[in-house]
Amino acid sequence: MTITEPFSLPVPASTESRGALEHGHRVSVRGARKQYGALAALDGLDLDIEPGRFTVLLGPSGSGKSTLVRSIAGIERLDQGSIHLGDVAVSDGHRYVAPERRGLSMVFQDYALWPHLTAQQNVAYALKRRRLPAAEATKLVGEALERVGLSAKGRHYPSELSGGEQQRVALARAVVGRPSLLLFDEPLSNLDADLRERLRVEISTLTRESGATALYITHDQSEAFALADEVGVLRAGRLEQFAAPEEIYQNPATPFVAKFTGLAGSFSGRVVHSRDGRVAVDLGGDVVFARGSESLGVIDDAIVLIRPTATSLEAATDHPEAASASTVPLNSDSAFTSVSIPAVVLDVAYRGRGYEHVVECRYGVLGGVFDTRPWSRGMHCSVRIDPSGCIAFPADTGTN
Ligand code: ADP
């Protein structure tokens, strides 16, 4: 991290076109490419964020999240492509607008506070270039610190504050200048679980109150889903899917998206019926039902991806009512039904609101199988699989 100075400045007068005057910036990224040697950190990425929306970029380490956010901030320069904030091209083949002239603020994982300045002074620093009358700046700083619950600690230096308090100062500093765009680079990663949850709520409320557009990056699916109006899933420098969290969970565009947003497991099989986006897949004895991608036809090899929410446990039966390939014409809704497969409990973990189980059946292992009561390790049971949380893809698409 070379730049630790926040960029909470209004958009310069010369760029005050219609888009820039809206409080939240519209963000448009087109064909963004950033190469590090042979590696494309951004590989022709497109992204559009509507003004005032809270977007979370989710992706594994190395997928290009930081590079994208830093390029939008102006800390990195794209090799190719363009970035517009509002109607203003801040980066394209011809123009490059400096970070402090983009009307944005950024919150970093490591807080990036000036160690030699107090909390008040750190927040006030963000207003420095505004040249406000001292009394007005003091009032804004006081309000921002109060908003994050740190009024009493304004005179403390960062070394005298806890991690959570330091990140609150950084948050106050980010919002004090009313930026049009707030960028968050994994701001909760250095905090422990309880504090992470509380600060997440504060970030969500404060950002939404401010009316700014927000772009937040994380590799944590639950954090992404909790915060986002829209989630963008990144893979190898490209956006794999961009949609509301519910849509991503229910209709993942690719096996990668499904896997990265939480699977109990996956089973391989062969499509025995296909109709109106629904398929029946023979796993080799039992048939499960799933929503299927358009390209899946009868006798295709398929991979069935199973969300944890689609699984439940029930007592083992001697005669499981397994559907067989010959009884699943899929010509009525009643045929698109849950199935029960014999299984053995491998592990059980207490999760506060109940128990998560790992179970093994003849087609593979499923994790995250929830029940309010614990099932003992080694116990024979049946795992019920509901089609609402099953998505089938052609087998050769893989999940990696
Ligand atoms: P993420 O934020 O998703 O973890 P990054 O954007 O940090 O991903 O990195 C994307 C890829 O670019 C990674 O493979 C990373 O190693 C590489 N990379 C990022 N910054 C640099 C750099 N300054 N020099 C060389 N490679 C880099």
Q: How far is the CA of 234 from the centre of ligand 1 (A)?
A: 13
pLDDT of residue 20: 37
Ligand 1 site-directed mutation target among 47, 66, 184, most atoms within 8 Å of CB: 66
Over residues 367-388, mean pLDDT: 96
pLDDT of residue 3: 36
For residue 69, the ligand 1 atom closest to its alpha carbon is 6
Q: By C-alpha distance, which of 93, 130, 122 is closest to 11?
A: 130
76: pLDDT strictly greater than 80: yes
9: pLDDT strictly greater than 80: no
Beta carbons of 241 and 253 less than 8 angstroms apart: yes
pLDDT of residue 16: 36
Ligand 1 site-directed mutation target among 3, 42, 67, most atoms within 8 Å of CB: 67
Over residues 89-108, mean pLDDT: 91
Q: Assign residue 306 a region (left: φ > 0; alpha: ψ between -120 and 50; beta: otherwise).
A: beta
Question: What band does 82 get if pLDDT is binned at 50, 70 and 90?
Answer: very high
Q: How far is the CA of 41 from the centre of ligand 1 (A)?
A: 6
pLDDT of residue 252: 95
Over residues 123-139, mean pLDDT: 87
Query: Tens digit of pLDDT for each residue in 296-313?
Result: 888 889 999 999 999 999
pLDDT of residue 331: 55
pLDDT of residue 321: 54
374: pLDDT strictly greater than 90: yes
**Cα dihedral 252, 243, 335, 371 sign:** positive
pLDDT of residue 297: 82
Q: By C-alpha distance, which of 387, 251, 395 is closest to 323?
A: 387
With vertex at residue 206, the alpha carbon angle to CA 204 and CA 211, rounded to the nearest 5 degrees, is 95
Ligand 1 site-directed mutation target among 1, 36, 45, 189, most atoms within 8 Å of CB: 36
pLDDT of residue 6: 40
Q: How far is the CA of 42 from the centre of ligand 1 (A)?
A: 9
Ligand 1 site-directed mutation target among 35, 39, 256, most atoms within 8 Å of CB: 39
As for ligand 1, residues whose beta carbon falls within 6 Å of it are 36, 39, 41, 59, 61-67
Q: At a CB cut-off of 8 Å and minimum separation 6, what does 64 contact?
A: 34, 41, 42, 43, 45, 234, 236, 237, 238
Over residues 180-200, mean pLDDT: 90
pLDDT of residue 12: 35
Q: At a CB cut-off of 8 Å and minimum separation 6, what does 253 contact?
A: 240, 241
> Residue 270, Cβ neighbours under 10 Å: how many?
17
Query: Tens digit of pLDDT for each residue in 315-359?
Result: 997 655 555 544 555 555 556 889 999 999 999 999 999 999 999
Nearest CA to ligand 1 atom 1: 62
Crossing angle of helices 163-176 and 193-210, in 10° steps, is 10
pLDDT-above-70 percentage for the chain: 89
Taking all residues of the chain, what is their mean pLDDT, rounded to a whole number?
88
For residue 185, the ligand 1 atom closest to its alpha carbon is 2
The more confident residue out of 21 and 269 is: 269
Nearest CA to ligand 1 atom 7: 66
For residue 234, the ligand 1 atom closest to its alpha carbon is 3
For residue 217, the ligand 1 atom closest to its alpha carbon is 2
pLDDT of residue 21: 38
Nearest CA to ligand 1 atom 27: 36
Q: How far is the CA of 312 from the centre of ligand 1 (A)?
A: 40
Domains of the chain as residue ranges with CATH: 18-255 (3.40.50.300), 264-397 (no CATH)
Q: How far is the CA of 67 from the centre of ligand 1 (A)?
A: 6
Over residues 258-279, mean pLDDT: 93
Give the predicted TM-score (pTM) of the model: 0.87
Over residues 183-208, mean pLDDT: 91
For residue 237, the ligand 1 atom closest to its alpha carbon is 10
CB crowding 305-338: b at 16 or more within 10 Å, else e: bbbbebbbbeeeeeeeebbeeeebebeeeebbeb
Q: What are the Cα distances from residue 209, in Å, to 9, 35, 52, 206, 390?
A: 18, 37, 10, 5, 37
Query: What is the C-alpha to C-alpha distance for residues 156 and 112, in angstroms, rounded to an integer?
Result: 16
7: pLDDT strictly greater than 50: no
For residue 68, the ligand 1 atom closest to its alpha carbon is 6
Query: Tens digit of pLDDT for each residue in 18-39?
Result: 333 347 899 999 999 999 999 9
Over residues 128-149, mean pLDDT: 89
Taking the mean position of all CA atoms in its chain, how far away is CA 337?
31
Question: What band does 293 get if pLDDT is binned at 50, 70 and 90?
Answer: confident
Taking the mean position of all CA atoms in its chain, how far away is CA 270?
32
Beta pairing class for 364-371 and 278-282? unpaired
pLDDT of residue 33: 97
| Among 37-46, 123-132, 147-156, the least confident range | 123-132
Q: Is 141 helix (H, G, I), strand (E, B) or coil?
A: helix
pLDDT of residue 332: 54
For residue 219, the ligand 1 atom closest to its alpha carbon is 3
For residue 186, the ligand 1 atom closest to its alpha carbon is 2
Q: By C-alpha distance, which of 148, 149, 147, 156 is closest to 120?
A: 156
Q: How far is the CA of 390 from the centre of ligand 1 (A)?
A: 34
Over residues 362-370, mean pLDDT: 97
Question: What band does 194 get if pLDDT is binned at 50, 70 and 90?
Answer: confident
Beta pairing class for 311-315 and 39-49? unpaired
With vertex at residue 102, the alpha carbon angle to CA 111 and CA 147, rounded to the nearest 5 degrees, is 45
Query: Tens digit of pLDDT for each residue in 214-237?
Result: 999 999 999 999 999 999 999 999
Question: What band does 61 get if pLDDT is binned at 50, 70 and 90?
Answer: very high
Q: How far is the CA of 35 from the centre of ligand 1 (A)?
A: 9
